[in-house]
Amino acid sequence: MTDSPSRSGVFAASMDKRLEAFSESISFDYRLYRQDVRGSIAHARMLAKQGLITDEEFSQIESTLREIEAEIAEGKMPFRFELEDIHMHIESQLIERLGDIGRKLHTARSRNDQVNTDFRLWIRDALDELDALLVDLQRAFLSRCEKDAGVILPAYTHLQRAQPVLAAHYWLCYVEKLERDRGRVADCRRRVNVCGLGTAACAGTTLPIDREMTANELGFESVAANSIDVSSDRDFVIESAFVLATIAEHLSGWAEEWILWSTVEYNFIKLPHEFCTGSSIMPQKVNPDTLELTRGKSARVIGNLQTLLVLLKGLPLAYNRDLQEDKPPLFDSFDTVKATLELAAPIVSGAELQLDSIGDRLEKGYLDATTLMEHLILKGIPQRTAHHLVGTLVGLAQKDGVSLAELSDEQLKSAHKSLDSSVREVLGVEKAVKAFQSYGSSSPERVQEQVHRWREQLQ
Q: Which residues are catalytic?
A: 158, 279
Sign of CA dihedral 8, 13, 17, 21: negative
Q: Give the integer Cα–Cα distance in Å for 332 and 437.
A: 45
For 250-372, where are the E strands, in sequence order?
A: 269-270, 352-353
**DSSP label of 321:** G
Q: Do residues 133 and 338 lie in contact, with contact meaning Cβ atoms separated by under 8 Å?
A: yes
Q: Give the integer Cα–Cα distance in Å for 350 and 275.
A: 10
Q: Give the integer Cα–Cα distance in Å for 311 and 323.
A: 8
First-to-last C-alpha distance (Å) of the chain: 55
Q: Give the integer Cα–Cα distance in Å for 22 and 218.
A: 33
Q: Do residues 369 and 362 lie in contact, with contact meaning Cβ atoms separated by under 8 Å?
A: no
Which of 322, 400, 328 minimizes the C-alpha distance to 366? 400
Do β-strands 194-195 and 352-353 pair in parallel, antiparallel, or remain unpaired?
unpaired
HSE (side-chain half, CA atoms, 13 Å) at 248: 28
Which amino acid makes up residue 328?
Answer: P
| Count of C-beta atoms within a 10 Å radius of residue 456 | 8
Which amino acid makes up residue 176?
Answer: E
Q: Give the integer Cα–Cα distance in Å for 435 and 164.
A: 11
Strand, coil or helix: 66? helix
Q: Do residues 26 and 83 lie in contact, with contact meaning Cβ atoms separated by under 8 Å?
A: yes
Q: Give the integer Cα–Cα distance in Å for 243 and 133.
A: 14
How big is the chain by its Cα radius of gyration, in Å? 31
Strand, coil or helix: 161? strand
Q: What angle do CA 29, 31, 37 make, to 5 degrees?
A: 100
User: Long-range pairs for 362-365 at CB < 8 Å and ≥24 separation?
Assistant: 362/152, 362/154, 362/164, 362/429, 363/403, 363/405, 363/428, 363/429, 364/161, 365/154, 365/160, 365/161
Q: Do residues 224 and 230 lie in contact, with contact meaning Cβ atoms separated by under 8 Å?
A: yes
Strand, coil or helix: 277? strand
Cis ω before 415 (30° cut-off from 0): no
- Cα 292 to chain centroid, rounded: 18
